[in-house]
Chain A
Amino acid sequence: MTLHEYDVVIVGAGGAGMRAALESSKRARTACLTKLYPTRSHTGAAQGGMAAALSNVEDDNAEWHTFDTIKGGDYLVDQDAAEILCKEAVQAVLDLENMGLPFNRTEGGTIDQRRFGGHTRNHGEAAVRRACYSADRTGHMILQTLYQQCIKQEVEFYNEYYVLDLILDKDPQGTPEGEEVSVAGVIAYELATGEIHTFRAKSVIFATGGAGKVFKTTSNAHTLTGDGMAIAFNAGLPLEDMEFFQFHPTGLAGLGILLSEAARGEGGILRNSEGERFMERYAPTIKDLAPRDMVARAMANEVREGRGCGPHKDYVLLDLTHLEPAHIDAKLPDITEFARTYLGVEPYTEPVPVYPTAHYAMGGIPTNVHGEVLRNNTDKVKGLYAAGECACVSVHGANRLGTNSLLDINVFGRRAGIAAAEHALETAEAAPLDETAAETLNSTVERLRSTVGTSEAESVADIRRELQATMDRNVQVFRDADSLQQAQKDVAALRERFTKIAIHDRGKRYNTDLLEAIELGFLLDLSEVVVLGALNREESRGGHYREDFPTRDDEKFMQHTMVYGGDDLRLDYKPVVVTRYQPMERKY
């Protein structure tokens, strides 16, 4: 076992992690630990754009953007955080451009902008062009640009190091409110050698991304198993608003591969089996550019009312055939290639089969606007930060607007990087971390290795498949008490079976078999939290829709869900921060 010491340790090298690393490594000795090579991170799969009221092509301002973000999030957004997000958006885009990001350009040479769901002029009057973009590979360009800057700045990466445990100096739940709890470090497993490393640090930033693999049909990478969220949760920290999961309307049918909302921003239209542009019925003003939760529900509703397409009537169609092929090639080259490669459909001439796909966790590790992690509604964990999809600030509330995630990782990744470095510089010494800190992980790894060859053991792959199937069936776009109770029962049974798994690979080197077993544990932990939050929230808001409680209930539920772990899960609430926007009915 090797011990490393740094001022700041960043976990994750996607957009949020690398944006944080650029700030932190300028100020303090920083290591960035990442389970994937940085350029493999799922930020690179983001397509459509990054929102900022640059006003390069149409009149726009940060206040309109703030309003859209809050309304889009169905009033579960912390409004102080949304104001910061939208105000700092412009500089965040300009920073990336100055770093070299190749945005698409206007004729005048400025950054071009396009329409996206839920982004409107003057509080909902009409769609506005707010998304700054680079064809349909904006996330790819952000990831590449940040990585290039990290090379320039000689950021120290530990590639293919899986952080699997978080060490705090005290039990965050056993410590009374008001008393100090500090981060001490993290424990990591090195993929290449199987060696366990202890990283002691004054500050730790979690930027570990999402958890889409709790679902079967998802736009998320195989590696998005919610590691950071589950590790924080298992270290005694709460998770916030986990029942709010975004289902992106346009996943390739049956596969879940993402087709950007930019397809509709550029003029694409959703149609049912009757050829009807059905979004006209659901959102008369902005139609296909309504926020994602509304479009996803409308699509699922068309299908269950029998207006789905295909032999099983189980998807709808995304129609781009009225767009010029040259326009498609210039603005949407990648997603049209996905349709050709994976479904054999030619988008110039044929509409593309699409259905909602699990896409984004609005919830996560609770933080304040500086990225500092909370252990209850008010107390911070000293030195611990989170940013990006794994965090819940909360700027997305009950439903994230398209292009606000690439914005989130840049604004709050930067803020967390600065805050973590400053905290480290003010701190004389990291919290003590003794040699036994790695013991928990060490024994988990040894126990799993010892299961090789066990007879009549359970299979990791079977449990994962069944988990994902029940989550898709029961916790997707439409939910009710029955479906959620079924999911709860299924997850509990799978947890029981998980104690009896056996793996195949006893080796130390590149043992991805062992890591998949550990990742499945994370998925089970998080599924339980998602389902509990969903079952308890007896209302419909944003991405969480209860058929047995189809309206929003501000009186009872305009508050964040907080779930705490331990032997039994415990539910609590946290008030929503309201500055100037009172909740109103959400119509588009």
Chain B
Amino acid sequence: MTATAEASTPAGEVPSFEVTLRIRRMNPEGTSEHGEGEEYWEEFKVQAHATDRVLDALHMVKWDQDGSLAFRRSCAHGVCGSDAMRINARNRLACKTLLKDLNPAKPIIIEPIKGLPVEKDLIVDMEPFFASYREIMPFLMTDGPAPERERLQSPEERQRFDDTTKCIMCAACTTSCPVFWTDGQYFGPQAIVGAHRFIFDSRDEGQWERLEILNDKAGVWKCRTAFNCTEACPRGIEVTKAISEVKKVLNTGEI
């Protein structure tokens, strides 16, 4: 017999418990009971352990009860940004939300993120989201030839934009924004976070071009400081603060 990593709960024996998932569903091709594109709720019961996340529960449904349940996921530990969804009315990553933290006595309500077209069950069309990101020119812009070594940057200068480099583009912020829900033109918070990351990078020389885009009617001035985005961010980015910093630069003309 060889040593194994036979998974057991590491922090001692934890009994399993039953959880009910109440999932917002939609099949564009219809099912035997539901029409094409009809939205409806469906409940599933699963047995969970204390270290299980919402993603584990969704897998239990998909793998053992209904394989047609559609959702995106990949890394399963909060770094790839695939599985943002609305869980008990709040945007979160399913792989970063532990069931035991959600009051498993009540059904856990799972819906697709809002403001993007639903494609099937928990999968939404991400194209409009990525299109907004592309619009703010999210890449380093410099003048002159590339240097022979690295461009110098002090630790303090590097720290200035550290927070917004953490973004994994999961869309939790943008799809929690009440302005984004109702205003089809607004870039949404994520695109502003993406712009902030370069505007405050001491190596970048394209700030004003980028700021011009954000000063546009679809840009930062649409933000009504609801703070939903900051609350939603699974990476702990202070999104609203980043947006205010961009507004301040536009007001003062100084970076």
Contact = CB atoms under 8 A, between A and B. Distances in A.
Interface in B178-232: 198, 201, 203-204
A57 interface: no
Contacts of B167: 144
A440 to B, nearest CB: 23
Given A109-B154, A343-B11, A221 B66 contact: no
A547 B3 CA distance: 12
B250 interface: no
A472 B5 contact: yes
A148 B139 contact: yes
B74 A42 contact: yes
Given A105-B153, A221-B75, A256 B5 contact: yes
Interface stretch (A196-204, A381-389, A504-512, A555-563): A504-512
Interface stretch (A64-72, A271-279, A349-357, A394-402): A349-357
A149 B161 CA distance: 19
Contacts of B80: 36, 39-42, 44-45, 221
Contacts of B28: 509
B2 A474 contact: yes
A266 interface: no
A511 B236 CA distance: 33
B165 A141 contact: yes
B29 A98 contact: no
Given A221-B74, A300-B3, A508 B29 contact: yes
B209 to A, nearest CB: 13
Nearest to B75: A221
Interface stretch (A282-290, A409-417, A430-438, A476-484): A476-484
Interface in B131-173: 133-134, 137-140, 146-147, 149-155, 157-158, 161-162, 165-169
A110 interface: yes
Nearest to A111: B150
A341 B77 CA distance: 9
Interface string B107-119: 0000000000001
Contacts of A41: 80
Interface stretch (A310-318, A319-327, A364-372): A310-318
Interface in A207-231: 216-217, 221-223
Contacts of B119: 192, 509-510
Nearest to B7: A254
Nearest to A140: B79
A393 interface: no
* Size class of the A contact interface (CB-based, 8 Å): 35 or more
Contacts of B165: 102, 134, 137, 141, 144
Contact of A254 (B10, B98, B149, B168): B10
Interface string A69-106: 00000000000000000000000011001111011111
B120 interface: yes
Given A149-B139, A478-B2, A512 B168 contact: no
Contacts of A255: 7, 10, 51
B255 interface: no
A496 interface: no
B2 A479 contact: yes
B42 interface: no
A54 to B, nearest CB: 8
B139 A151 contact: yes
A110 B150 contact: yes
Contacts of B13: 311
* B8, B71, B79, B134: most-surrounded residue (chain A CB, <10 A): B79
Nearest to B97: A341
Interface string B1-36: 011111111111100000000000001110000000
10 contacts: A37-B130, A39-B168, A40-B72, A40-B81, A45-B80, A312-B8, A315-B10, A342-B51, A355-B5, A512-B62
Question: Which 4 pairs from chain A and chain B are nearest by CB?
Answer: A504-B67, A100-B140, A461-B63, A109-B152
Given A148-B140, A344-B11, A547-B2, 17 more contacts: A40-B82, A94-B149, A98-B147, A100-B203, A140-B168, A149-B139, A152-B137, A221-B76, A253-B10, A257-B76, A310-B11, A311-B13, A334-B79, A461-B63, A473-B4, A476-B4, A512-B62
Interface of B: 2-13, 27-29, 51, 53, 62-64, 66-68, 70-82, 96, 98, 119-121, 123, 126, 130, 133-134, 137-140, 146-147, 149-155, 157-158, 161-162, 165-169, 198, 201, 203-204
